[in-house]
Amino acid sequence: MIFRLERVTKLYDGIKALDDITIEVRPGAIGLLGPNGAGKSTLIKCLLGLVQITAGRVSVLDLDARRDSRRIRQQVGYMPEDDCTIAGLGGVQAVAYMGQLSGLPARTALRRAHEMLDYVGIADERYREVQTYSTGMKQKMKFAQALIHAPKVLFLDEPTTGLDPQGRDRMLRLIRNLPEKKGLSVIISTHILQDVEACCDSVIILGRGRLLVYDTLRRLRRSVNETYTVRYTGDRAAFMKALVDSGCAAQPAGEDEITVVREGDATPSAVFKSALISGAVVRQISPSRTSLEDIFLKALRG
Amino acid sequence: MPIYELGYRHWEGELCNPLHRMWAITRTGIALGFRSKMLLRLLIFAWMPLLYFAPLFFAIGYATDPERAAAGDNVWTQFVQGFLGSEIANRLLQDPESVRRAAWAIAFHYFFSYTQAWLTMLVVAIIGPPLIAQDVRRKAFLLYFSRPITRWEYLGGKASVMLFFVFVVTLFPAIVLYAISIAFSPSLSALFQTGTTIFQIVAVAAVIAIPATLVVLSLSSLTEDSRYATFGWISLWLVGEVSYRILSNIPQLADHRWIFLLSVRKTTSVLIEAIFDVVRQIRALGRSDAVNRVLEQVQTPYPPWLGLVFLTALSLVCLCVVFRRISKPMRI
């Protein structure tokens, strides 16, 4: 278990940023999705113990967030969304400084800082002042500082913001590498659904402070895969009537397409039988491929 | 398993204690502070008063030595006359040891209240304002507080940076001055007579440094642009000093005991005077024109307790402000 929320509510001036959330999140790579104001950043700050919750209980790595927030922050890494830097420090100094703040001895922190900057791909620029870095380099540096103290869990807030396509691919590869090969759990808060699809095996969707969805991507997709898209030629009304008569829920999709939701025995064979009855010709039948966007939009619509 | 991998490697080792984290903030702040060439020049300049005070202490040490006085070695007595006047110098010959304590008290009082006070104001104006303002501007709080450090440790680390630089111009030169005085004293009696001075020096340095640190940190936390904090700090000093001087020259207001509170320098000076017990030391020299002249310069009608209460209250208010400000970004 990475973290557990029990009936957690967080109010800001009477507005519910988190509304009665109960969830237990398993290790792995988890995408945290939600529109603006959904409560993603508040959730991360609650987990880090940076803000006090109004009601409920938060535990991270089996530690109580209220009582043991220092121990939690020792074991988690956080990459903020904002353009955060320490003024006047060079890249390697800044990362080493963050290591020291996490309790690493000065020499170890410097060695780890070099290792982490190698990992994220900052070369000689590490000796330049951080203020002179491009947005992409700042993102990499924030990623390096989140890793320097060898955390068990990594919270990444919009990790690919401001990166060019090549930089984004590289960043996603680095992120993906951590849970797959190094056993770290990664929680990615983002608006970019493709990033979650590329890196994560589970997804949490928040909307207006409420938990809408928490499940593995595989299961979420499978539940929607029971929908088929049928391309045909023939009389639409007759074909649809035949489908409904055979126990399928059918809806017109495109010009020559019908979406068929399987209910009971509404298998592809039922579609062929209906076509035979109605005189339509089935040109193609395929399981509807539902993207994360569909899942996301469906969750938000409720 | 690769035999070499330039990738992420886990680390498991012994962590340092929380004080080390605060020390990391302080050390980094001090290192960044020393990058300022203006500050370096000012720090060198801040030690210049030693060139004036060290020979004075040296001379007082020799002039107040009973053995030398008895032997009629009056070279140093004449030297001290230049600083303290002939009447005190004569008194020096009669009862050398009683003059030593008074002379040290007066000298340290001048050292802290005048030369070092203004230098402290300048050092604080250079170092203090960016300490928190830059973290606010660069949103560094999220980096700091996502680490296992508390707000108190952060504040302690930042305050220690400021305290260090204030001590560089107050405590450290005063201790060096004291050490020089003792080292060049012809007998150990100087050490026994002035044993409490070192504690008085530390107390005075704390009285100067703690309110200055908390005021400048609170100003720094109120703005993203450190120039405003610098302006605020200098204004507080200069406007207060000018207001005090104007109001204290108005006869109707001159007797008001609160006037000195307008000036940070004067308030501190009144406390320094009380800590070194200057007035009592001077009165112990007896009555003479020279003593009266020194007394007139040093003695004030202002109660030290009021200054202490004011500086304590100011420090506490500033502490609340700065703590609230560094907690604020987390509330979003």
Domain count, chain B: 1
If asked whether residues A172 and A232 sit together in one domain, one would say: no
If asked whether residues A237 and A215 sit together in one domain, one would say: no
* CB atoms B8 and A88 under 8 Å: no
- For the stretch A255-295, pLDDT in tens is 888 888 766 555 688 888 889 999 999 998 887 766 777 77
Closest-CA distance of chain B to residue A121, Å: 10
A115 touching chain B per CB within 8 A: yes
If asked whether residues A158 and A249 sit together in one domain, one would say: no
If asked whether residues A197 and A265 sit together in one domain, one would say: no
Identify the weakest region by mean pLDDT among A138-147, A272-281, B6-15, B65-74: B65-74
- For the stretch B98-157, pLDDT in tens is 677 777 788 888 888 888 888 999 999 999 999 999 999 988 988 999 999 999 999 999
Average confidence (pLDDT) over A123-132? 92
| Entry pTM | 0.83
- Asked whether residue A267 is domain-assigned, the answer is yes
Neighbouring CB atoms inside 10 A of A47's CB total 28
- Asked whether residue A117 is domain-assigned, the answer is no
Distance CA B114, CA A182 (A): 62
B277: three-class secondary structure by DSSP: coil
What residue numbers bound the domain in which B269 lies?
A: 36-52+97-330
Confidence at B72, pLDDT banded by 50, 70, 90: low
Contact B149, B18 (CB under 8 A): yes
Nearest residue to B264 via CA among B110, B128, B160, B120: B120
pLDDT at B315: 95
- Asked whether residue B228 is domain-assigned, the answer is yes
B303: three-class secondary structure by DSSP: coil
If asked whether residues A25 and A73 sit together in one domain, one would say: yes
Residue B28, CA distances (Å) to A86, B123, B157, B276 in order: 10, 18, 9, 35
What residue numbers bound the domain in which A240 lies?
A: 225-301
- Asked whether residue B21 is domain-assigned, the answer is no
If asked whether residues A74 and A177 sit together in one domain, one would say: yes
If asked whether residues A165 and A291 sit together in one domain, one would say: no
Confidence at B247, pLDDT banded by 50, 70, 90: confident
Enumerate the residues of chain A whose CB falls inside 8 A of the CB of residue B147.
Answer: 73, 98, 101-102
- Asked whether residue A101 is domain-assigned, the answer is no
Identify the weakest region by mean pLDDT among A76-85, A182-191, B102-111, B250-259: B250-259
What ipTM was predicted for this assembly?
0.84
The enclosing H or E element of A268 equals helix A268-278
- Asked whether residue B26 is domain-assigned, the answer is no
Q: A221, A238, A262: which is the final residue of a domain?
A: A221
To the nearest 10°, the Cα dihedral for B224, B131, B209, B259? -10
First to last CA, chain B: 45
Q: A184, A200, A221: which is the final residue of a domain?
A: A221
The winner for highest mean pLDDT among A42-51, A97-106, B74-83, B170-179 is A97-106
A83 touching chain B per CB within 8 A: yes
- Asked whether residue B86 is domain-assigned, the answer is no
What CATH number is attached to the domain comprising A257? Answer: 3.30.70.100
- Asked whether residue B74 is domain-assigned, the answer is no
Domain count, chain A: 2
Closest CB to A119 among B7, B145, B150: B7
Show which of residues 184-243 on chain A sit within 8 Å of chain B, judged by CB atoms.
Answer: none
Select from B1, B6, B8, B10 the residue whose CB has the most chain A CBs within 10 Å, as the one to mutate to test that interface: B8
pLDDT at B85: 65
If asked whether residues A49 and A153 sit together in one domain, one would say: yes
- Asked whether residue B11 is domain-assigned, the answer is no
Residue B112, CA distances (Å) to A174, B169, B235 in order: 58, 10, 21
- Asked whether residue A21 is domain-assigned, the answer is yes
Closest CB to B140 among A84, A104, A149: A84
* CB atoms B16 and A84 under 8 Å: no
pLDDT at B332: 44
What CATH number is attached to the domain comprising A46? Answer: 3.40.50.300
- Asked whether residue A107 is domain-assigned, the answer is no
* CB atoms B143 and A80 under 8 Å: yes
- Asked whether residue A92 is domain-assigned, the answer is no
